[in-house]
Amino acid sequence: MSTSKTIRLGLIGAGRMGSFHGLTAARHIPGACLAAIADPTPGQAARLAAELDVQKVYVDPQQLLDDPDIDAVLIAAPARSHAELVISAARAGKSVFCEKPMAITLDEADRAIAAAADAQVTLQVGFNRRFARSFRTAHLDVVAGRIGTPQLLRSLTRDPALNNPAASPQWVIFLETLIHDFDTLRYLNPGAEAVEVFVMADALIAPAYKDKGFLDTAVVTIRFDNGAIATAEANFQAVYGYDVRGEVFGSAGMLTMGNVNDSDLLRYLASGVQADTQRMDTDLLRDAYVAELNHFVGCVRSGEKPLASGEDARAALAIARACIESFQLGKPVRVQGARS
């Protein structure tokens, strides 16, 4: 693709995350523009299009995919629709950026990866921590051997407030929240793959919903094929703010990354030391969200493989699926496809 051509992006899904990605595409990606928005919810696409001065609005996502003026699509629709949208977009010849998770089952993931490969289009998945400066630097430090061999790793996600557990899909804590942590742990332990998981999880915030299959608190232990042991944890109600952190302990040192604070401002007052904290993922990780879409457009131009590929999404999903099985069985479970 010409390096001078403006990449025309289409957005599928105009909810909270779609609106944020739409704003980024419209205003923060040099050499690209947001050319169309599709959302089946009445009025949703039109509202965002008016806000961002986008001329083309569709109710049916397939109409956007059939639009010959669109070069690539950003998928921010509900998670259970991601895989089929990726497949349809690839078959329409569009490069794809898909919010996590790319798929819910490994079969879906395989079909999505195959569709993108057959169409020879770019497929990138929204694992934004790979683009956060501290996580990216930590990855490069591990690659450079600055902390020796990774031995213990940790990644956590704590959301600031539980919204409506009744509306949460089953296994959401593994498939849509901890999926970030599973990818982060692979990213911080490059070249290694997870071979076994063990899960402890419960509904501690909303116990009345546990019998409906809802879990809001989880700790996962993961063993990697290079011997490293990792933990991933999630909770849906950190009253102090949106909390994302990581750690790699190695034979020659340790790296830590992530911070809940809004800035490095601390107030030393008579009542104690106080700091403001972030309450939204799009605030805490704003720069990473913007960077991942710029990276995507760069890959569409160059044909290079994205830093967060469909294969990365499948590997993280394999860990998530093993977690579901481990929770159901109450014992360690081998990750499907893990190397012997």
**DSSP for 252-307?**
TEEEEE---BSSS--EEETTEEE--B---HHHHTHHHHHHHHHHHHHHHHH-PPPS
pLDDT (tens digit, 0 to 9) for every residue of the chain, 340 residues total? 666 799 999 999 999 999 999 999 999 999 999 999 999 999 999 999 999 999 999 999 999 999 999 999 999 999 999 999 999 999 999 999 999 999 999 999 999 999 999 999 999 999 999 999 999 999 999 999 999 999 999 999 999 999 899 999 999 999 999 999 999 999 999 999 999 999 999 999 999 999 888 999 999 999 999 999 999 999 999 999 999 999 999 999 999 999 889 888 999 999 999 999 999 998 899 999 999 999 999 999 999 999 999 999 999 999 999 999 999 999 999 999 865 4
The pTM (predicted TM-score) of the whole model is 0.96
Looking at residue 40, its amino acid is P
| Comma-separated ranges of CATH 3.30.360.10 domains in the chain | 129-285+316-334
Q: Where in the chain is the domain with CATH 3.40.50.720?
A: 7-121
Dump pLDDT digits (tens) for 90-117. Answer: 999 999 999 999 999 999 999 999 999 9
Distance CA 91, CA 188 (A): 33
Instruction: Name the CATH topology of 129-285+316-334.
Output: Dihydrodipicolinate Reductase; domain 2 (3.30.360)
Q: 3.40.640.10, 3.40.50.720, 3.40.50.150, 3.40.50.800: which CATH number matches 7-121?
A: 3.40.50.720
